[in-house]
Structure 1
Amino acid sequence: MDLTRLPNDKKLQLCRWYFKVGCLLLPFVWAVNAVWFFKEAFMKPPYDEQKQIKKYVVMSATGAAVWVAALAVWVTVFQLQRVAWGPTGDSLSFIVPLGRA
């Protein structure tokens, strides 16, 4: 989609919509919102709706970064502790590796 074709109020509406959809535990949508509207928020000459777009872009980027950090922590903990968790670790695994622990 070409954002240059949209009027500023529609850009704000679309940015807000993507932020709200991301709030439904869809951090990828937040990441897309942050990347897609970054130039609108920080590179374009000032206009009335830009301040609100900046707010949604920053919140989307922050939310996506928090999700990525949480996922990285979970993957690290799971990979390091799966064997120690015994049957619980095995039941959380999609594929149980064979061999010694």
Structure 2
Amino acid sequence: MNRIFGSLSIAAFLLVLAPIISGAQDGATPNPSEQRDPNFCGAAGAGCDPADVQQWKAIGNRLADLSSADLSQYAYACAKHADWKKVCETDPVAVLKRLGIEGY
């Protein structure tokens, strides 16, 4: 008789704890159906770049076919070096060469 009550007590205890434990695990797992703002950072964090860097990326995309890494280098360099503006507006490859990036 004690064995039956012991088993029932353990079963009841587990039935009470199971939803609590599974709820804690669900909270740690991101919900794929959750709606995310596509303008928040975007791919690889590009949306979190400063506005001037994003503008230079747009210019670089129009002027040359650069890898995303090189485009980022170009954009940050142009944003940092205001004295390079003329070259930045016309020749992204020249900017990359100034940075020591070859291959274009």
With the length of structure 2 as denominator, give the TM-score of the two structures: 0.28
Q: Which fold has the larger relative contact order, with Cα–Cα distance below 8 Å and residues 6 or more apart in sequence?
A: 1
With the length of structure 1 as denominator, give the TM-score of the two structures: 0.29
Larger Rg, first or second structure (1 or 2): 2
